[in-house]
Amino acid sequence: MSSPIRANSILPAQREDIELQTADGLTLVGELARPVEGEPVATLVCLHPLPTHGGMMDSHVFRKAAWRLPALAGVAVLRFNTRGTSSVRGTSEGSFSAGADEKYDVAAAIEYAEFADLPNIWLVGWSFGTDLTLMHGLDPAVQGAILLSPPLRFSQPGHLEAWAKSGKPVTALIPEFDDYLRPAEAADRFAAVPQCEVVPVEGAKHLWVGDAETVLDEIVKRVAPSVPVPLPRTWDGPMETGDMNAYADRTTSAFRDVPMPKASD
């Protein structure tokens, strides 16, 4: 009997806690979720939103990706906490560097995926994670990038130029009511990357609350085009339930008075 896939539904996968070692000597904590059977058709390396404002490897879109995509789409999902970031999985060593030293974190995640022989590696950045993707993710092992709510706060025109020259596919999902970059401006800013597909998402906001299914469908459409979308909304098989109360203190309102960090020089 099929059951609805809810926000806290955890579908079957091979899940393992992992540690990433950075070139500057830090240990970062993370998790790799793979399909139960067979090799993955693609791999997502997830770069989370601002840790100073509640972002982490368990930010809801990435948590749902790890809980669903190995089973529904045959996609492996690698999530981790950037330096100084905490979640239920633990705390990564180091401290937040406003996008500068996080270059070592991005490199460590890509390297881990390579050494694990994970195929078809795509970077999926969300908010601050989109800046990390644009600034530090242009690696030979990376097939392309998907940007969720890119604010273009830390990245610079030179980073867009580099992606343009690479020719690698880039998709930017832009919420209609984003707090930082809305569709019209996004189309103008990303015109610097001719191969970038700018996808406005009607009614959505920066944090994608209520729109995770749309985001996951759009991701799968790009990284695993042979998988039919929309993905199933029900599951006929074993299904666990995750703890939705673990991050009650990570809501937007909890950080409304915290100033946004500035890019490092």
Where exactly are the structural domains of the chain?
3-255
- Neighbour tally for 57: CB within 10 Å: 27
Alpha carbon 228 to its chain centroid, in Å, reads 21
| Rounded Cα distance, 47 and 57, in Å | 8
Contact 102, 113 (CB under 8 A): no
Q: Which fold has domain 3-255?
A: Rossmann fold (3.40.50)
Q: Would you state the pLDDT for residue 52?
A: 94
- Range list of β-strands (E), the chain: 3-4, 9-10, 14-21, 27-34, 42-47, 75-80, 86-87, 90-91, 121-126, 142-148, 170-175, 196-201, 234-235, 240-241
Note the maximum CA span of the chain.
57
Alpha carbon 65 to its chain centroid, in Å, reads 9
Q: Strand pairing partners for 87?
A: 90
Kindly list the distances between the CA atom of residue 87 and the CA atoms of 29, 30, 107, 186, in Å, as whole numbers in the listed order. Answer: 9, 9, 21, 31
Q: Would you state the pLDDT for residue 247?
A: 75
Q: Would you state the pLDDT for residue 265?
A: 46
Kindly report the average pLDDT of the chain as a whole number: 95
Strands 75-80 and 42-47: parallel
Kindly list the distances between the CA atom of residue 192 and the CA atoms of 133, 185, 226, in Å, as whole numbers in the listed order. Answer: 16, 12, 29
Q: Would you state the pLDDT for residue 163?
A: 98
| Rounded Cα distance, 232 and 237, in Å | 13
Exposed (0-12), middle (13-18) or buried (19+): which is 256, by Cβ within 10 Å? exposed
Q: Would you state the pLDDT for residue 7?
A: 94
Where the chain has pLDDT below 50, the residues are: 265
Q: What is the pTM of this model?
A: 0.95
Q: Would you state the pLDDT for residue 253?
A: 54
